[in-house]
Chains A and B, each alone.
Chain A
């Protein structure tokens, strides 16, 4: 999954635009989750703009890779990335969480059929992805080149059903199942290690017979390399633990669990957008 400098720069700029959209949507919606979507913007950008085999003009294309969002509450980043990738107009993002909108507070296929699943309640995405992999193997055998990406939060590994699914995936040894875990260390009530410790997370997943890779979830090179490695591993599912900074890109939101489930106010949103326009002060912006 080679990534040259110009592509990396393009991805960085795209991720920044997506973060801006996330802030704008949340300010407009006046409810929703801030930290997770900002933290995962780089992973989503890498997937939709570099790694996924997909066609935004043909969302039901049979041969597409599947991206299943398990922790549905970070859907602002899913919606924003899909819009920027061309699935639907960017202008529609401002309807998030509003009556009659296709962009439900948590993703719902009945409203937006181009989504692979409906989600929100945690600990259910991996089971569904494993089911898809079973069907794929029936239809295409063990050499299938369709990939199934399940995006999960770290907190939802406190759900027992996540581990049920992990056991089955390891038993079946899917080479084309790639789970990317947003290891941002926060959940609603605090830091994961204070609420219910997940560590030693890597060892747990390895004990379940998964191939595990740990990366910086904000490095496009590392994201691309990890996915490449996951594809190269034979007969085992791969979990990529992506260490991310919740609220990434807006210093006043970063690393604080308080920003898990609330949106920025108008004023906070304005400040956040300023940070994003200047990439945290690294560049001078025009206005």
Chain B
């Protein structure tokens, strides 16, 4: 299976021995470097220092690390105040609590006033696993995407997570970064290009019949699906839409026009997330058949990460099915158009 050489993906991409790390690890390392590069970078955490990987920063820069206790609403406002005085605060908790619990505080004190605060939502998605549905944020992309001034980035692996964290420290304005708990494959490398708002075309099949648009670690399932489909002589292109907002319209439309059918893939409710963002864009610009991979109006539950990905229909096999479905719809549509002529 050939990947786009310009993307310089991990050579071990298709091997069982591919290196793995949680995206939150990339955040922690990125935050540490951001702190070294700019003394205005500060970190706040709501009693989850280690699991949100704030520990690296906290050890190196104890005077710039602020423990907020279990008080996410206050944390958002405090970050706004720090930003008002020229600091660059990164606030961390589980995504369920921040931006879940403190959504209106983020809206008013961060977005409404356009404050330079970076929100890191951790342990997102069903892949959190055994903790169960109460702790598996599946709504956070939607919550952040609707806010004016907010940028939303969902890194696909630890390498991209580090780049995204560093990039966020350098741009002005509110931003949301989404991370997951479990170790996931390192698909990209240090040499893979990364720019906020610019999607990466990872597989650019010559005779693509369907495009897959994905964000987050679940992107690996999309790549696996592409490989399975290629074995059946169905060719797809895969776009890593790490920046959900502002969405990369140019890349998206290019893919839509090339393939004529899309499947979106995300570890989030189908409502309001990446799929919705893609659909909003295509509905006005270039409507084509679309299918959505995401949790369908349900909460998560306890289990191992892989079991839950499978159960909620987010894995490679379901993606394969949806690709075939959307391809059939596309073919039927062109047949109808052909007959009408």
Interface positions of A (Cβ within 8 A of B)? 108-110, 116-121, 123-136, 138-139, 160-161, 164-165, 167-168
Contacts and interface: CB of A to CB of B under 8 A. Distances in A.
Given A108-B112, A110-B112, A133-B81, 17 more contacts: A121-B108, A123-B73, A124-B77, A126-B77, A127-B73, A128-B81, A128-B84, A129-B81, A132-B81, A132-B82, A134-B66, A134-B81, A135-B85, A164-B74, A165-B77, A165-B78, A167-B69
8 nearest interchain CB pairs?
A: A131-B81, A127-B77, A135-B85, A164-B74, A131-B78, A164-B71, A128-B81, A161-B73
A119 B64 CA distance: 27
B172 interface: no
Given A118-B112, A161-B73, A168 B68 contact: yes
B84 A116 contact: yes
B76 interface: yes
A190 B124 CA distance: 42
A160 B70 CA distance: 12
Interface in B81-112: 81-87, 89, 104-105, 108-109, 112
Nearest to A160: B73
A132 B85 contact: yes
B60 to A, nearest CB: 15
B279 to A, nearest CB: 30
Given A116-B84, A161-B73, A161-B77, A138 B109 contact: no
B114 interface: yes
A135 to B, nearest CB: 3
30 contacts: A108-B113, A110-B114, A116-B84, A117-B80, A117-B113, A118-B108, A124-B105, A124-B108, A126-B77, A127-B81, A127-B105, A129-B81, A131-B79, A131-B80, A131-B82, A131-B84, A131-B85, A131-B89, A132-B85, A134-B81, A135-B82, A135-B85, A138-B63, A160-B73, A161-B73, A161-B74, A164-B71, A164-B73, A165-B74, A168-B71
Contact of A128 (B42, B63, B109, B114): B109
Contacts of A160: 73
B311 to A, nearest CB: 36
Interface of B: 42, 63-64, 66, 68-69, 71, 73-87, 89, 104-105, 108-109, 112-114
Contacts of A116: 84
A138 B64 contact: yes
Interface of A is mostly: helix
Given A127-B81, A129-B81, A161-B74, A135 B86 contact: yes
A131 B104 CA distance: 17
Contacts, number: 101
A160 B73 CA distance: 9
B84 A121 contact: no
Contacts of A168: 68-69, 71, 74, 78
A119 B109 CA distance: 8
Interface of B is mostly: helix
Nearest to A108: B112
A128 B78 contact: yes
A123 B63 CA distance: 27
Most buried by A among B66, B76, B81, B84: B81
B105 A161 contact: yes
A119 B105 CA distance: 11
Nearest to A110: B114
Contact of A127 (B42, B69, B76): B76
B323 to A, nearest CB: 44
Most buried by A among B74, B76, B83, B89: B74
Nearest to A128: B81
B34 to A, nearest CB: 16
Most buried by B among A117, A121, A133: A117
A115 to B, nearest CB: 9
A136 B87 CA distance: 10
A72 to B, nearest CB: 9
A109 B104 CA distance: 17
Contacts of B69: 164, 167-168
B84 A132 contact: yes
Given A139-B85, A164-B74, A168-B68, A128 B80 contact: yes
A160 to B, nearest CB: 7
A228 B165 CA distance: 44
A128 B84 CA distance: 9
Most buried by A among B63, B86, B112: B112
A130 B75 CA distance: 10
A127 B78 contact: yes
A92 B81 CA distance: 28
A227 to B, nearest CB: 21
Contacts of B66: 134
Nearest to B102: A161
A37 B229 CA distance: 68
A122 B77 CA distance: 12
B118 to A, nearest CB: 14
B78 A134 contact: yes
A110 B113 contact: yes
A196 B87 CA distance: 37
